[in-house]
Amino acid sequence: MSQDFEPRIVVFACNWCSYAALDLAGTSRMKYPPNFLVIRVMCSGRVDPQFILEAFRRGADGVLVAGCHPGDCHYIEGNIKALRRMTLLKKVLKEFGIEEERFRLEWISASEADKFVRVANEMLEEIKRLGPLRIEEAYQHG
């Protein structure tokens, strides 16, 4: 794949854990690639698979949904609801021909800034290897 391909990746981050972890990455002056655009939600349980399909349709090369670890949800088990939905969504994405590396559901607690950095680096590398999703070209086929 071309070296100058800079994927754009959307992150849906739960306010209490993952968003806080992203903040912590900042306050700890960690570094991660600038390709991740965060949309804050109060809970990963708010994330509707429709948004993820919409993101891919608009040109996302990857989507990351990040929530609290099971058992740690600020809303008891919103993250479990996310897990259920994303499990089914993954099957559907596969049928749509979207490689599994492009979509991840990760548990990132407020103290795991380093985990976010690791996940971000991994995802970026994998997606760079895959190349762009090229949704617009697919659309031009009708």
Partner 1 sequence: MEALSKPVLVIGGGIAGIQASLDLADQGVHVYLVERSPSIGGKMARLDKTFPTLDCASCILTPKMVSVARHPNIELLTYSEVVEVRGSAGDFHVKVLKKPRYVDEDKCIGCGECISKCPSKVPDEFNLGMSNRKAIYFLFPQAVPLKATIDREHCLYFTKGICRVCERFCPTKAINFEQKPETLELNVASIIIATGYELMDPGLAPTYGYGRYLNVYTSLEFERLVSSTGPTGGEIMRRSDKKHPRSIAFIQCVCSRDVKINPNCSAFCCMASVKHAILAKEHLPEVDCTIFYMDLRAFGKGYQEFYNRAMREFGVRFIKAKPAKIEEDPETRDLIVTYEDTFEGIKKSMKFEMVVLAVGVKPVYPEALPLTVGEDGYIRLRNPYLEPISTTIDGVYVVGVAAGAKDIPDSVIQAGSAAIKASIIAGGVKA
Partner 2 sequence: MSGEPRIGVYICHCGVNIAGSVNIKEVVEYVKNLPNVVEVRDYIFMCSAPGQEIIKEGIKKCGLNRVVVAACSPTMHEHTFRNVLAEAGLNPYLLEMVNIREQCSWVHSDNRQAATTKAKLLIKMAVAKASLLEPLKEITFKVNKNVLIIGGGVAGLSSARDLARKGFNVYLIEKKPVIGGNVARLGRLAHVELKGIDIVKELLHQVVDNPNIHILTNTELVSVGGSVGDFKVKLVKNPRYVNENCNLCSECVKVCPVEVSNEYEFGLSKRKAIYLPYRNAYPPIYVIDSENCTRCFECVKVCPTQAINLAEKPEEIEVEVGAIVIAAGHEPYEPLIGEFGYGVSSRVITLFQLERILDEDGPTKGRLEVNGVQPKDIVFITCVGSLNTTPNAYPYCSRMCCSSTIKNALIIKEKVPNANIYILHKDIRTYSRGDEQLYLKAGESLIRFARYREAPNVIVNPDESINVRFFEETIQEPVSIPADLVVLSVGMKPPRDIDKVRTIVKVGCGPEGFLREAHLKLRPVEAATDGVYLAGTVTGPKNIIESIEAGGAAASKVSTLLTREEVRIEPLIAVVNDEKCSGCLICVGICPYNAIKLRIQGDARVAEVDPALCKGCGACVASCPTGAMQQFGFKDNQLESQVLAAFTE
Partner 3 sequence: MDKPKIALYWCASCGGCEEAVVDLAEKILDVVNLVDIVFWPVAMDYKIEDVEKLPDGSITASFINGGIRLSEHEHVVKLLRRKSKLVIAYGACSAWGGVPGLANLYSREEIMRYVYHEAPTVENPEKIRPELKTKVEEKITLELPEFLPRLLPLDLVVDVDYYIPGCPPTPDVTWKAIETLLSGNLPPKGSVLGALDKSLCYECPLNDTKPEKVLIKEVKRPHEVIADPSKCLLTQGLVCLGPVTRGGCGALCIKAAMPCTGCFGPLDEVIDYGGKAISYFASIVDYTSEEEIEKALGKILDPMGVFYRYSLPASRLRGKIMLVER
Among 5, 37, 87, 122, binds partner 3 (CB under 8 A): 87
Residues 6+ apart with CB under 8 A from 100: 90, 93, 94
Contact between residue 67 and residue 107 where contact means Cβ atoms under 8 Å apart = yes
Does residue 27 bind partner 1 (CB under 8 A)? yes
- Distance, CA of 93 to chain centre: 14
Using CA atoms, how far apart are residues 103 and 97, in angstroms rounded to an integer? Answer: 12
Q: Which residues of this protein are in contact with partner 2, per CB under 8 A?
A: 8, 10, 15-17, 19-20, 22-27, 29-32, 34, 37-43, 45-48, 50-51, 54-55, 58-60, 71-72, 74-78, 81, 85, 109-111
Q: Which helix (H) or strand (E) holds 62?
A: strand 62-67
Among 2, 29, 50, 137, the residue binding partner 1 under the rule CB under 8 A is 29
The residues binding partner 3 (CB under 8 A) are 48-54, 56-57, 70, 77, 80-81, 83-85, 87-89, 91-92, 95-98, 131, 133-135, 137-139, 141-142
